Structure 1
């Protein structure tokens, strides 16, 4: 039986999409619309195509359907680029096509620890920064961020830079198989 967290946090680079948004892409972005209006691919000003990992919309939709708050926690040095990407990517949610950024309850970015990102998100969402008081998880591709487990946050290690977060990894987390 699946057990959902109260809050799911996602790193961006090599977790949501296969690049470092602060070094690999250059705005502005041209969205490539699919036949239903979704935008899964962007083309940057140099012609570089970037798409989020294929299971991302399904995972985010499932979390939202189950009442989970979603935050982004990224060390990106280019938050304005990350924001532009999340605004330009569009996915179907509740029978509407919306910018992916609208599915995030908070965005915590900048060069600091993930613990700081998560505590700051809690202050905004709950006016308290006690990580231990919430069932949380962090999906991230950098093993150093496992440090969040000291505060009761489940670290879900995204190990494959070709696939990023996958439905299988997500289900393994939900069903306590990690």
Structure 2
């Protein structure tokens, strides 16, 4: 069902090193959806209607479509979203070229994050407090809208995406981490290090 099977989940760190090294963090972390947050193409693989599988109300949550196919976030993603959503000075957003924005929003509302400490959101949808830009077109447009809405400078943004052409957003000053196997703890660590190097705070 796609490019490659998701990797096994890594044990979530109790406190990632980048969180307690007293160095700055991006003010906005932006995520692509297909093959970044989840291991499938939203406009090809799921067939509505969608439903949350019984007994799947806490991570790892799984959604089923009308054909009985199952869909979930990458294994590390729920804990990463929960942690980043709890950070006081870092916001989360989505930038996706998917042509099925309504279906993506429904998936994000069905897929759950465990409550965790600090009252993190229970729905993946609620973690993205800076908004969801989900529509076809250049990622440049997505980021221009995000910058206008949030007032956050491009240089203070870190973007995770699996498609090399989207590196064009770096022309705006955004740092993009090109991921291969979806959002993982290791990719977040590398992305934060890359953003710090780009902004001269490493």
The question of a shared fold, defined as TM-score above 0.5 by the shorter chain, is answered with yes
Secondary structure of 1:98's counterpart equals coil
Task: Look up the match of 2:190.
Answer: 172
- Offset of residue 96 of structure 1: 6.4
- Alignment: residue pair count: 171
Q: Is the CA contact (8 Å cut-off) linking 1:39 and 1:88 kept in structure 2?
A: no
- Residues 73-104 of structure 1 show CA distances to partners (whole Å, capped at 9, x for unaligned) of 00001001101100000112335662110111
- Offset of residue 46 of structure 1: 0.7
Q: Is the CA contact (8 Å cut-off) linking 1:32 and 1:39 kept in structure 2?
A: no
Q: Give the TM-score normalised by structure 1.
A: 0.86
- Offset of residue 147 of structure 1: 0.8
Task: Look up the match of 2:168.
Answer: 147
| Structure having the larger proportion of residues in strand | 1
The correspondence for 1:9, drawn from 23, 27, 30, is 30
RMSD across aligned positions (CA): 2.2
Task: Look up the match of 1:100.
Answer: 124
Task: Look up the match of 1:56.
Answer: 77
Task: Look up the match of 1:91.
Answer: 113
Secondary structure of 1:101's counterpart equals helix
Distance, in Å, in 2 between the alignment partners of 1:110 and 1:36 is 28
Q: What are the equivalent positions in structure 2 for 1:121-132 lying under 5 Å apart? A: 121-126=146-151, 131=154
Question: Is 1:78 aligned with 2:100?
Answer: yes
Question: Is 1:31 aligned with 2:42?
Answer: no
Distance, in Å, in 1 between the alignment partners of 2:175 and 2:78 is 21
Task: Look up the match of 2:43.
Answer: 22
Q: Is the CA contact (8 Å cut-off) linking 2:163 and 2:178 kept in structure 1?
A: yes
Q: Is the CA contact (8 Å cut-off) linking 1:38 and 1:97 kept in structure 2?
A: no
Q: Give the TM-score normalised by structure 2.
A: 0.77
Question: Is 1:118 aligned with 2:148?
Answer: no
Task: Look up the match of 2:14.
Answer: none
Is there any run of 5+ residues in structure 1 with no aligned partner, and where?
Answer: none
